[in-house]
């Protein structure tokens, strides 16, 4: 089980100025590949009708596909640069929320023990907040500080929910507010809350453990797709191009056309595969953005290594076995 200790990143509310700042960071990161694309491909095309080092290959009648490793790498870098800042912030926010939820059971247990020992709820809240070492403890200490400065407990908790508005914290705030206002058997209510959060956490951990192998399947399936496609490229498409047997195939598929289809299909699989991982593990599509960026980066890296190292290596292997 991952520990929430040592997680010091704050929760970043993705709206207003902070969302604008993320957009600025994305634009800054994407500026370099965008400028290279404009200088090496777009401007030469507009001025000389020459699209850089791109070669065009006919897919079917009237439809051609471009191929250039550099061109596709720049396009991929542009997409990843646009998505990466938001994906990283979303990932850090999810880690923050996960750390908060992991502390819920022990926090409410400590709160119940303080109330049972005769402390007022605010004092017990302060004690439980000091005992919690993770982000929940920091947030609850801030709540206590606001109460000591004159705010009501309800106002202080509402301020917390403005910052981190997640269902688990909203339920916790409601429980604390009701316990503070009602009195009576507060300790029993808090004990029940601790038990409830413990059960929820156990269920979440069990669910993640059972889903983890399926999430890894996305990564493995992409690796298998890349491997099989490379074998087809080197062992079949390139060999067929060299043979040029009219009776077998009137127009063999050019290896560059195959690479273009190969890259685009791999990139799309990486993008949607990452989103599927996020949906399985985090319950939301946007939780998979970082996985998508990682997978797209791996695909881009693979295609850069393909021309430089992988293809020559496989050609040597095929020649060795054919001789």
Domain assignments of the chain as residue spans, ordered by start: 16-101+205-317, 102-202
Rg (CA), the chain: 28
Predicted confidence at residue 83, as pLDDT, reads: 96
DSSP classification of residue 134:
S
Write down the residue that tokens 């705010």 correspond to.
151
Predicted confidence at residue 1, as pLDDT, reads: 40
Predicted confidence at residue 172, as pLDDT, reads: 87
The burial of 206, by beta-carbon neighbours within 10 Å (0-12 exposed, 13-18 middle, 19 or more buried), is given as: exposed
Predicted confidence at residue 312, as pLDDT, reads: 87
d(CA 131, CA 290): 33
d(CA 215, CA 208): 10
Rounded to a whole number of angstroms, the distance between the first and last alpha carbons of the chain is 54
Q: Report CA-CA distances (Å) from 275 to 15, 96, 246, 264.
A: 22, 20, 44, 17
d(CA 217, CA 221): 6
Per the CB < 8 A criterion, the answer to whether 80 and 299 are in contact is no
H or E segment and range at residue 58: strand 55-60
Confidence grade of residue 323 (pLDDT, cut at 50, 70, 90): low
Query: What is the SS3 assignment for 63?
Result: strand
Predicted confidence at residue 2, as pLDDT, reads: 43
Least confidently predicted of 18-27, 85-94, 177-186, 280-289: 177-186
pLDDT at 59 over 60: yes
Per the CB < 8 A criterion, the answer to whether 129 and 172 are in contact is no
Per the CB < 8 A criterion, the answer to whether 207 and 280 are in contact is no
Closest CA to 2 of 163, 134, 195, 196: 134
**63-67 and 55-60 as β-strands: parallel, antiparallel, unpaired?**
antiparallel
pLDDT digits (tens, 9 = 90+) for 232-242: 998 888 877 77
pLDDT at 3 over 60: no
Predicted confidence at residue 244, as pLDDT, reads: 59
The burial of 125, by beta-carbon neighbours within 10 Å (0-12 exposed, 13-18 middle, 19 or more buried), is given as: buried
| Neighbouring C-beta atoms of residue 165, cutoff 10 Å | 12
In percent, how much of the chain has pLDDT > 90?
41
Q: Which CATH superfamily is domain 102-202 in?
A: Type II secretion system (T2SS), domain F (1.20.81.30)
Length of the chain: 323
Considering only the C-alpha atoms of the chain, give the largest distance between any 2 of them, rounded to a whole number of Å.
93
DSSP 276-306: HHHHHHHSSSGGGHHHHHHHHHHHHHHHHHI
């Amino acid at each position: 089980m991952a520990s929430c200790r040592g997680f010091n990143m704050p929760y970043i509310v993705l709206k207003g100025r902070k969302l604008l700042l993320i957009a600025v960071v994305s634009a800054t990161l994407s500026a370099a590949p965008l400028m290279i694309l404009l200088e090496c491909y777009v401007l030469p095309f507009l001025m000389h009708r020459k699209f850089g080092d791109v070669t065009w290959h006919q897919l079917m009648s009237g439809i051609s596909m471009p191929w250039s490793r550099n061109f596709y790498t720049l396009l991929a870098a542009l997409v990843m640069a646009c998505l990466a800042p938001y994906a990283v912030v979303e990932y850090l926010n999810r880690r923050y929320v996960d750390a908060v939820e992991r502390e819920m059971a022990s926090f409410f247990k400590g709160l119940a023990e303080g109330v049972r020992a005769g402390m007022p709820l605010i004092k017990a809240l302060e004690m439980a907040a000091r005992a919690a070492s993770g982000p929940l403890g920091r947030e609850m200490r801030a709540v206590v500080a606001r109460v000591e400065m004159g705010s009501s407990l309800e106002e202080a908790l509402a301020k917390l929910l403005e910052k981190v508005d997640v269902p688990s914290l909203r339920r916790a705030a409601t429980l604390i507010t009701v316990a503070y206002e009602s009195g009576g058997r507060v300790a029993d209510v808090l004990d029940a809350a601790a038990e409830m959060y413990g059960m929820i956490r156990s269920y979440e951990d069990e669910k993640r453990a059972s889903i983890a192998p399926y999430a890894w399947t996305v990564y493995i399936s992409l690796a298998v797709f890349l491997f099989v496609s490379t074998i087809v490229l080197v062992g079949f498409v390139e060999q067929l191009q060299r043979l040029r047997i009219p009776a077998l195939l009137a127009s063999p598929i050019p290896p560059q056309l195959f690479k273009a289809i190969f890259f685009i299909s791999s990139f799309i699989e990486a993008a949607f595969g990452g989103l599927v991982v996020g949906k399985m593990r985090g319950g939301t599509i946007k939780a998979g953005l970082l996985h998508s960026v990682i997978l797209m980066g791996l695909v881009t890296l693979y295609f850069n290594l393909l021309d430089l190292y992988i293809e020559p290596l496989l050609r040597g292997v095929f020649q060795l076995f054919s001789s």
